[in-house]
Chain A
Amino acid sequence: MSDFTISRRTMLAGSAMLLASTAMPISGWAQTPKKGGRLVLAADSEPRNLNPAIVASNGVFFISSKIVETLAEASFDGKDGLAPRLALSWEGSADGLSATFKLRDGVKWHDGKPFTSADVAFSALQIWKPLQNLGRTVFKDLASVDTPDDLTAVFKFAKPTPFQLIRNALPALSSVVPKHIYEIGKIEDNPANNAPIGTGPFKFGEYKAGQYYRLTKNTDYWGKDEPYLDEIIYQVLPDRTSAASALEAGEIQLAAFSAVPLADLDRISKVPGLKVISKGYEGLTYQLVVEINHRRKELADVKVRQAIAHAIDKDFVVKTVFLGYAAAATGPVPKNDPQFYTADVPTYAFDVAKANALLDEAGYKKGADGNRFSLKLLPAPYFNETKQFGDYLRQALAAIGIDAELVNNDLAAHIKAVYTDHAFDLAVGPPVFRGDPAISTTILVQSGIPDGVPFSNQGGYKNDALDALIAKASETLDTTARTDLYKEFQKEVAADLPLINVAEWSFISVARDTVGNIANNPRWAVSNWADTYLES
């Protein structure tokens, strides 16, 4: 009996090898996408509100960007790094007081009603500006949206608003939802927030808590022949270690957003039939940042902050914590940003002796126990890497005589402790750079932000020169002048260190070889997947 099993297994293995060897050349040139099939992928969180117009975050986009579309999507080769979606063209006026969008013709909502400029006007004025986490800042001066015809929307601003900012905000902030669904009742309580209706290539199918989300093909989609897939299933796998085994077992075909732990990538890249892809997240750069509470008198001294910056071995962090899947940061704008990044900023090489000297200079001598002072360090629990960096930072600080006590909290408690109660000295946070410093980056260092706003300056930092720079950039319309101001901003932040940028990282996808058109735009994981296909 056992003999038989073994021989059958060997035979199966042999025939599989044969199949693989014959299939290989075919998959090599199978570039024309196939239609049909069901894509099953891992989802590690279950957002309750799936309305991307209200909650502009990657966790929501991951699912709802396939259902609800934006005016434009990020692109590797498009003009200004954009590709048209619901808008075909966009133009800002010279005075910065208006922006005109020409919309796509013949687009239908999933319930069959036509998509018009009224939907854009409604989404912008009723949702993006008053309710959206990011839109509140970017669209704060939006006064009205004119709709001269069904396919034209003209945004009117009360104060000059740089069109560069609006353009950069389009991929993440401009999800359009149907006016006829949302105009009834309170927007926040609308049932469509949990079962979204959009114009996208996929319709919302069903959601079973703790199990899966199912999206089905929109047969009426405006894209020619698109979408290729019949169904997308998001299998809820909250345990990060289970995604790798599910991929190997063939239960899922894709794990995006680094659902497979970095430490497993080396091993899994050698598994036949699986590919590891680090492209497709260029527009979603996360920044590893040490947030500083400037209310602590020691930390209010720039020498102490510089000493901490010198104590962190960024290369070690990149190599050990991120296993090479990251880059050392120089300032508040990531290196991979094509528009704003400048390398011409003060840098802090890893130098423990210099860090110790700076602390001595600042007047914090080592005590008898070798410590200068004690700090509370709160690593954010979002990612394994933020927690591990917390462990590393504690050691790095110990080397320069700063005794850091780690405080671990769950997500809600961490956000409350840092951004509302300010009960921290140092915190490790992962803010996101979203293509323009004015969207979610300047808020990290600007003063005058009310308590309780997550991912903002809650460290009590106030620098009038920097505030003035940010204010000036926000009303500078000329793209070159505005870009130069943000380069100035990077220099100022790197010099005064209101926070310390350590590294920048993106995510990794692992997929079966059969999944096609992966990573073909800089926000691929959160784009609409109309052209994604399965080979067999």
Chain B
Amino acid sequence: MSPLRRFLRAPEAVAGAILLAALIAMALSASLLFPGDPQAIAGPALLPPFQDWSLPLGTDRLGRNVLAELFHGARTSLAVGLAAAAAALVVGAVIGTLAGFAGGLVDEVLMRITDAFQTVPSFLLALAFVSVVGPSLGVVVIAIALGTWTGPSRVARAEVLSIRERDYVAGARVIGMHPMAIAFREVLPNALPPVLAMSSVIVAAAILTEAALSFLGLGDPNRVTWGGMISEGRTVLRTAPFLSIVPGIALVLTVLGVYLAGEGIVETTAVRRGLS
């Protein structure tokens, strides 16, 4: 059975894939459906949803189109989630590989650094970093990656420790390959699958962290973010609850979708590896 068919047989994986596809479609179509600045004032302030069909989800406290904000917010969420996860995976895999392959003092130093990062709660680390450097999209990505690279690095190291004892690595040594080349050409690619398996959790966590940072006013103020929308809606929670509920639902569905789809992919590939 092909992995694709196996994936399609798991209902939760399919549900996740559909949610994720919808999210990606939203992010890609944002500029087409809602050209111009989504933060532009489009109508009267605090218009409730389903009143005016040109503003289907109503407007916020300044009269901005909530639907347009939602679509553009999908972009930010997805971009930050993917970029932060990619950064965390790359940094984690490289450090883990170096530590595991070099061993000795290098291993000790790198792993103690990892420990140091792991002991600080990742959200606090992100919070501190953004408050010091100042909020902008790039800084938020780095801040999230700072707290999440430790997991991949530990998994990569454990995997490398077992791989470096394999015969083909010994063979590479014998033919005189440079240790760095062995580490990154021979060992790392083989250590990657379990590291990549963590990616869905990391992406989901990164999206949530970005929303939390924006909620606390530490997101990029020049971009629409779902966390920022919830935070702005909170001041009018009693009079206009939809302003917080709508982006909240979007956030839940996104995280759920990313997680389910990611798990589905991991399961199907794991079964394949197990069978082979």
DSSP majority for the A interface? helix
A395 contacts B221, C-beta separation under 8 Å:
no
Chain A 392-439 interface residues, beta-carbon cutoff 8 Å to B? 392, 394-395, 398, 405-410, 413
B62 contacts A391, C-beta separation under 8 Å:
yes
B238 contacts A320, C-beta separation under 8 Å:
no
| Distance of A413 from chain B, by nearest CB (Å) | 8
Q: Is B240 an interface residue (CB 8 A)?
A: yes
Q: Is A263 an interface residue (CB 8 A)?
A: yes
A261-290 vs B, Cβ < 8 Å mask (1 yes, 0 no)? 101101100000000000000000000000
Query: Given the known A-B contacts A388-B61, A388-B62, A392-B62, are A409 and B236 also in contact in the complex, defined by CB atoms under 8 Å?
Result: no
Q: Is B239 an interface residue (CB 8 A)?
A: yes
B39 contacts A241, C-beta separation under 8 Å:
no
Query: Given the known A-B contacts A406-B222, A408-B221, are A241 and B134 also in contact in the complex, defined by CB atoms under 8 Å?
Result: no
Q: List the B residue with the shortest CB-CB distance to A396.
A: B41
A395 contacts B40, C-beta separation under 8 Å:
yes
Interface of A with B (CB < 8 Å)?
240-241, 244, 261, 263-264, 266-267, 320-321, 381, 384, 388, 390-392, 394-395, 398, 405-410, 413
Query: In the complex, which residues of chain A have a beta carbon less than 8 angstroms from the beta carbon of B221?
Result: 390-391, 406-408
Query: Given the known A-B contacts A263-B239, A264-B239, A320-B63, are A405 and B37 also in contact in the complex, defined by CB atoms under 8 Å?
Result: no
B63 contacts A267, C-beta separation under 8 Å:
no
| Distance of A506 from chain B, by nearest CB (Å) | 19
Question: A244-B238, A264-B239 provided; 13 other pairs, C-beta below 8 A?
Answer: A241-B237, A261-B235, A263-B46, A263-B235, A264-B238, A266-B239, A320-B62, A321-B62, A391-B62, A395-B37, A407-B134, A407-B221, A409-B134
A408 partner, pick from B217, B235, B238, beta carbons under 8 A: B217
A410 partner, pick from B37, B45, B131, B222, beta carbons under 8 A: B131
- Jot down 15 A-B pairs with beta carbons below 8 A, ordered by A: A241-B234, A261-B236, A263-B46, A263-B61, A266-B239, A320-B45, A384-B235, A388-B61, A390-B221, A405-B222, A406-B222, A407-B134, A407-B221, A408-B135, A410-B131
Kindly state the separation between the CA atoms of A379 and B61 in the bound complex, as whole angstroms.
17
Kindly state the separation between the CA atoms of A392 and B221 in the bound complex, as whole angstroms.
12
Kindly state the separation between the CA atoms of A395 and B61 in the bound complex, as whole angstroms.
14
Kindly state the separation between the CA atoms of A390 and B222 in the bound complex, as whole angstroms.
11
Query: In the complex, which residues of chain A have a beta carbon less than 8 angstroms from the beta carbon of B239?
Result: 263-264, 266-267
Query: In the complex, which residues of chain A have a beta carbon less than 8 angstroms from the beta carbon of B63?
Result: 320
Kindly state the separation between the CA atoms of A409 and B135 in the bound complex, as whole angstroms.
8
A264 partner, pick from B62, B222, B236, beta carbons under 8 A: B236
Number of interface residues of B (CB under 8 A): 23
Query: In the complex, which residues of chain A have a beta carbon less than 8 angstroms from the beta carbon of B61?
Result: 263, 320-321, 388
B217 partner, pick from A240, A381, A395, beta carbons under 8 A: A381
Kindly state the separation between the CA atoms of A407 and B221 in the bound complex, as whole angstroms.
7
Kindly state the separation between the CA atoms of A384 and B234 in the bound complex, as whole angstroms.
11
Kindly state the separation between the CA atoms of A388 and B239 in the bound complex, as whole angstroms.
18
Query: In the complex, which residues of chain B have a beta carbon less than 8 angstroms from the beta carbon of A241?
Result: 234-235, 237-238
Shortest 3 CB-CB contacts between residues of A and residues of B: A406-B221, A263-B236, A408-B221
Q: List the A residue with the shortest CB-CB distance to B45.
A: A320
Chain B 143-176 interface residues, beta-carbon cutoff 8 Å to A? none
Q: List the A residue with the shortest CB-CB distance to B46.
A: A263
Q: List the B residue with the shortest CB-CB distance to A404.
A: B222
B168-187 vs A, Cβ < 8 Å mask (1 yes, 0 no)? 00000000000000000000
| Distance of B219 from chain A, by nearest CB (Å) | 8
Q: List the B residue with the shortest CB-CB distance to A245.
A: B238
B24-66 vs A, Cβ < 8 Å mask (1 yes, 0 no)? 0000000000000101110001100000000000000111000
Q: List the A residue with the shortest CB-CB distance to B234.
A: A241
B39 partner, pick from A266, A381, A394, beta carbons under 8 A: A394
| Distance of B232 from chain A, by nearest CB (Å) | 8
Query: In the complex, which residues of chain B have a beta carbon less than 8 angstroms from the beta carbon of A267?
Result: 238-239
Query: In the complex, which residues of chain B have a beta carbon less than 8 angstroms from the beta carbon of A381?
Result: 217
Kindly state the separation between the CA atoms of A407 and B238 in the bound complex, as whole angstroms.
29
Query: In the complex, which residues of chain A have a beta carbon less than 8 angstroms from the beta carbon of B238?
Result: 241, 244, 264, 267
Kindly state the separation between the CA atoms of A405 and B137 in the bound complex, as whole angstroms.
13
Q: List the A residue with the shortest CB-CB distance to B132.
A: A413
Kindly state the separation between the CA atoms of A252 and B26 in the bound complex, as whole angstroms.
45
B236 contacts A398, C-beta separation under 8 Å:
no
Q: List the A residue with the shortest CB-CB distance to B221.
A: A406
Kindly state the separation between the CA atoms of A66 and B20 in the bound complex, as whole angstroms.
59
Query: In the complex, which residues of chain B have a beta carbon less than 8 angstroms from the beta carbon of A391?
Result: 39, 62, 221
Chain B 223-262 interface residues, beta-carbon cutoff 8 Å to A? 234-240
Query: In the complex, which residues of chain A have a beta carbon less than 8 angstroms from the beta carbon of B235?
Result: 240-241, 261, 263, 384
Kindly state the separation between the CA atoms of A244 and B40 in the bound complex, as whole angstroms.
30
Q: List the B residue with the shortest CB-CB distance to A267.
A: B239
| Distance of B239 from chain A, by nearest CB (Å) | 5
B125-147 vs A, Cβ < 8 Å mask (1 yes, 0 no)? 00000010011000000000000
Q: List the B residue with the shortest CB-CB distance to A379.
A: B221
